[in-house]
Amino acid sequence: MRFDLDSETRRKLGYQLIDKVDQYFASLPHRAVQLPADQRTYGPSQNPLPESPEDPAAVFDEICREMVDLGFHVPSANYFGLMNPTPTYVGFLAEAWVAALNPQLATLARSQLASKIELETVRWMAERIGWAENFGGTFTSGGNEANFSGLALALAAKFPCAIEDGVATIQGPPVAYASAESHHSLDKSAGLLGIGRRALRRIALDENLQLDPTQLERAIEEDLRAGRKPFCVVATAGTTSSGIVDDLPAISDVCARHGLWLHVDGAYGAAAVFSNKHRDLVGGIELSDSITVDPHKWLAVPFAAGMILTRHPEALEQAFSVASPYMPKAAGAQLLDNSRISTQWTRRMNSLKLWLTLRIHGRQAYEEHIDRQLRLAKSFAEWIEKSQAFELAAPRMLTIVNFRVRRHRPEDLAKVHGQIVDAVTRDGRRWISDTIVNGKSVLRMMVISYLTEERHIRALQQALEAAAETLPRVS
């Protein structure tokens, strides 16, 4: 069977997909997140490599059915888990269209309109941050690449020679700083950049679980006295475990005093800039030198869509530009090739899903989306405060709520919380998790689906109460 299917087959398969996607989206408000525990399997698939063609409609129907029947459904309204949303339907349409057109965003010469759309989307985001001019940015595969890019920009800005000659030419060990609750991608990035994972200083938290500016300044001064070379501070706008936003203005002041680059990992929380009402949740984000944003988190577009933005656009070229004779050049181009401002070369058009969602729904849809989810999280936190079985374990700043079981010894909480999570998720209906925050075990729920309503919250509360009833009584 040739790859160029005939029109009738293409249309048949396309309509088959649209019908299945429509059915799937219709099921999400009441769909279970996963199979019951006794039906889940985690072993490898052992199918042999297919050698001969099969009926495309039958194969496609089979895999669609299996992925729905046996899959884990992050888009469900009952998913209270990590920062993985229900994608907008418009985002799905954009992804399908991009897959068909397959634009290559490495150079303007081969992606004129696609590149313009991407840069327009970057501009929209930058304007919401508060950067009306003199900014740059590009889409990434996600927050990991964006955070890597942010540290690379900081390194290039502070130590320009390191890009060509290596970090060994820096007159002292370079060091960066982040909170004890910041994302693990920073550790990976420090290792990949050649400065070493130990060069990332984890700074203690204050009573609000934010990076402590006093401890930060003390660490910087100690490193300077020891001959080390501080170059970057990473603040977080929405930690993974708790949704905490660091004190961005205070951290910016510390960076200004010491001449350090401020990168904000706003993969989750930076989306609040799309809300006029709640913009103050990330107040001070405009003071940063670079920002990570993941539209595939709070902005509800399909994976993968990350962004790196900076108010020092020249740093992008300084860090990433490499000349190559085989890349086509666009005569008279006023915009930079994406390959000159990004870690990637061949690259997918990750912007269209956000661009199209904004064009069709408008920013106001995000205003309502963010406000609704914050109200739902606030309602759940208020229920926890009144609960006889649970209590809040951390301040609630965004849509994540940390809580713990009452009347148990701290050393027993990890085991107890594991039992709660198992009881709540065993039937597969809904999903929550447990995690460690500031060294202590907590339960974690997050409002992340735009389909989640009060009824889903109430059902989760009932499941938590039932789970708490199964615990042994403690005096």
| 395-441 pLDDT per residue, tens | 999 999 999 999 899 999 999 999 999 999 999 999 999 999 999 99
Asked if 151 and 193 count as a contact pair (C-beta separation under 8 A), the reply is yes
Among residues of the chain, what percentage have pLDDT more than 90?
83
pLDDT at position 383, please? 98
Q: Are residues 126 and 274 located together in one domain of the fold? A: yes
Q: Is residue 53 part of a domain?
A: no
Q: Are residues 409 and 345 located together in one domain of the fold? A: no
- Chosen domain end from 361, 386, 412: 361
Q: Is residue 276 part of a domain?
A: yes
pLDDT at position 332, please? 67
Q: Are residues 278 and 379 located together in one domain of the fold? A: no
Q: Where are the alpha helices (DSSP H) in 166-312?
A: 185-192, 213-225, 248-258
Q: Are residues 213 and 277 located together in one domain of the fold? A: yes
Lowest mean pLDDT among 154-163, 230-239, 355-364, 391-400: 154-163
Q: Is residue 182 part of a domain?
A: yes
Mean pLDDT, the chain, as a whole number?
94
Q: Is residue 427 part of a domain?
A: yes
Q: Is residue 259 part of a domain?
A: yes
Q: Are residues 383 and 345 located together in one domain of the fold? A: no
- Average pLDDT rounded to a whole number, residues 35-44: 93
Q: Distance between CA atoms of 244 and 237, rounded to whole angstroms?
A: 7
Tokens read off for 6: 């005939």
Cα→Cα distances 260→175, 178, 265, 319, Å: 11, 13, 16, 17
Residue-wise pLDDT tens digits, 52-83? 999 999 999 999 999 999 999 999 999 999 99
Buried b (16+ CB within 10 A) or exposed e, 50-62: eeeeeeeeeebee
327 vs 344, more confident: 344
Q: What is the CATH number of the domain that holds 337?
A: 3.40.640.10
Asked if 193 and 167 count as a contact pair (C-beta separation under 8 A), the reply is yes
Q: Is residue 273 part of a domain?
A: yes
Q: pTM of this prediction?
A: 0.94
- Chosen domain end from 326, 361, 396: 361
Helix (H) or strand (E) holding 176: strand 174-179
Q: Are residues 117 and 260 located together in one domain of the fold? A: yes
pLDDT at position 72, please? 96
Q: Are residues 256 and 387 located together in one domain of the fold? A: no
Q: Is residue 47 part of a domain?
A: no
| Number of domain units in the chain | 2
Nearest to 127 by CA among 56, 52, 119: 119
Residue-wise pLDDT tens digits, 282-315? 999 999 999 999 999 999 999 999 999 999 999 9
Query: In terms of residue numbers, what domain contains 319?
Result: 99-361
pLDDT at position 319, please? 82
Q: Are residues 306 and 194 located together in one domain of the fold? A: yes
- Chosen domain end from 337, 361, 385: 361
Confidence of residue 475 (pLDDT cuts 50, 70, 90): low
From the number of C-beta atoms within 10 Å of its C-beta (0-12, 13-18, 19+), residue 26 rates as exposed
Q: Is residue 85 part of a domain?
A: no
Q: Are residues 145 and 260 located together in one domain of the fold? A: yes
pLDDT at position 112, please? 80
Residue-wise pLDDT tens digits, 246-283? 999 999 999 999 999 999 999 999 999 999 999 999 99
**DSSP-based three-state secondary structure for 358:** helix
Could you write out the three-class secondary structure of 228-240?
A: CEEEEEEEEECCC
pLDDT at position 164, please? 87
Q: What is the CATH number of the domain that holds 449?
A: 3.90.1150.10
Residue-wise pLDDT tens digits, 333-384? 666 777 777 888 788 899 999 999 999 999 999 999 999 999 999 999 999 9
Other beta carbons less than 10 A from residue 186's beta carbon: 26
Residue in this structure with the two tokens 């991608």, named with its chain if needed: 185
Q: Are residues 315 and 274 located together in one domain of the fold? A: yes
Q: Are residues 354 and 396 located together in one domain of the fold? A: no
Q: Are residues 383 and 344 located together in one domain of the fold? A: no
pLDDT at position 339, please? 73
